Chain A
Amino acid sequence: MPEQSWHEIVRNVLKRHNVSLVTYVPDNVLRPLIDGVHADPFFTAFACTREEEALGINAGAWMGGTRGILLMQTSGFATLPNVLASLSVPFQIPTLMMVSERGTLGEFNIGQSLVARTMRPVLDALAIEHHTMTRLDEAQFIVDRSITQAVATRAPVCFILSPLLTGGKVFAK
C-alpha cells in the first residue's frame, strides 16, 4: 500500500472522530487538505472572512452537536487570542485548530517570521494543548489522541503543521 500523505491522514482521522465541519481562511500549504474535504461529501467545508468568525461558527456548531475544525495560517492564528480567551477557554469549548506554520525553516517574508513568534507564547499563556507535527509516522497518533482528549476535557487543541511535514512554502525567486 502506498504511504498516505499528511492531508489524507488528517482527513481520515477527522472522519473517524466525526469532525464534519471544516471552516478555514485559506493557505497554500493547506490546499490539498481543503481540496480533499471539499471533494468528500462527509464534510461541510467553507471559507470564512476571518479566523475569529470561523472559531465562532465552530463553537456554535459544537454546542449544537456538530464537531468542527478551523484551518488557518500562522498569521490567522495571531488574530485569535481574544476569542480563545473569552469564548473557547472559559466556556469549555473544544476548539480544534490546525495551523500551517509559516515564519520558520526558510521563510522569505519578514512579517510572517515575526508574527509566527507570537503563536506558541499565546498558546502557552492560555495553557492550550498544542503539538507541532513534523513526521508522517506520528501524524495519525497525534491528531487522533488529541481530538479524543480535547473532547473529553472540553479544551481547545492546536495542531501546528511544520514545514518538516508539509514541505512548507518555498521561496519563489
Chain B
Amino acid sequence: MASLLNHPVSRDQAKVMNRFDITKRLVDLLHQDEAVIGGIGYTNFDLWAASSGPNGRRQQNFYMLGSMGLAVPIALGVALAQPVRKVFALEGDGSILMQLGSLSTVAARAQKNLCVVIMDNGAYQITGGQMTMTGQGADVVGIARASGLAQSAWAADEEAFAELIRLALKEDGPWLIGCRIDAGKPVDTTERDPSRIRDNFMRGLGVKG
C-alpha cells in the first residue's frame, strides 16, 4: 500500500483526463479474461467503444441498460462467484453517489479480485450535464476510504492510472481508482440488446446460462 502514497490526496489535485482515452488504456492492459462491468451513463458507451478490436469485441464485458448504481454490486457478485477472475466495475460519479453503501459492502467482504474505477466528471452527463455533488465538495476516494476501502486512490494522470491498473491486476484488492474526466462525448453507443449482452457475457465467463 505504500505505493499509493504518491497519489494526489484530493480530487482537485488530480488531472482531468478523457474517459474514452483511459478506458482504452484499461482495456489494453487487460490480459483477456478479466470481467468488466460498465455502469449506466456514458461510462458503458465508452467501454463498448474501447472494447472493439481487430478480433471483434471483447466478450467479458457487461453493459447495464438501467439499474442506475448497480455496477459495483453486479461486479461484486461476479467476483464472489469467480474468485480467481479479476473483476472491474466502471461507474460514473452520479451513479456511485446513488449506491454508496455498496462500497462498504465491498470493504466488508474484503473482495480481493475486485477493482472499482470511478469516472468522475462532476456531472450527470448523459441527462444533460447537471452538476453532481462531486463538483460541489464530495470526494469519492475519500468516501471510499472512509467506507473501509483502504486501497483507494486518485489517478494523478494517465501514467498513474495505468500504474494503478497494473497494481490491481497483480495484487489483492479491493481497489478503488478515482479518475477525473472531462466532458468529452462518448465515442460510440452500446447496442441495447439485454439478452444478447447477458448471453455474451456469460459465455465470456465460461458459464452456461
Contacts and interface: CB of A to CB of B under 8 A. Distances in A.
A21 B68 CA distance: 23
A68 B77 CA distance: 10
B81 A66 contact: yes
Interface in A49-103: 49-50, 52-66, 68, 82-83, 85-87, 90-93
Interface residues of B, number: 38
A87 B64 contact: yes
Nearest to B69: A52
Nearest to B205: A64
B195 A91 contact: yes
Given A65-B205, A65-B207, A60 B77 contact: yes
Interface residues of A, number: 32
Nearest to A68: B77
Contact of B197 (A52, A62, A91): A91
A83 B73 CA distance: 12
A104 B48 CA distance: 47
Interface of A: 21, 44, 46, 48-50, 52-66, 68, 82-83, 85-87, 90-93, 154
Interface of B: 35, 37, 62, 64-70, 72-82, 85, 99, 101-102, 104-105, 108-109, 194-195, 197-198, 201-202, 205, 207, 209
5 cross-chain pairs, A with B, having the tightest CB-CB distances, nearest first: A60-B77, A86-B66, A49-B101, A64-B81, A56-B73
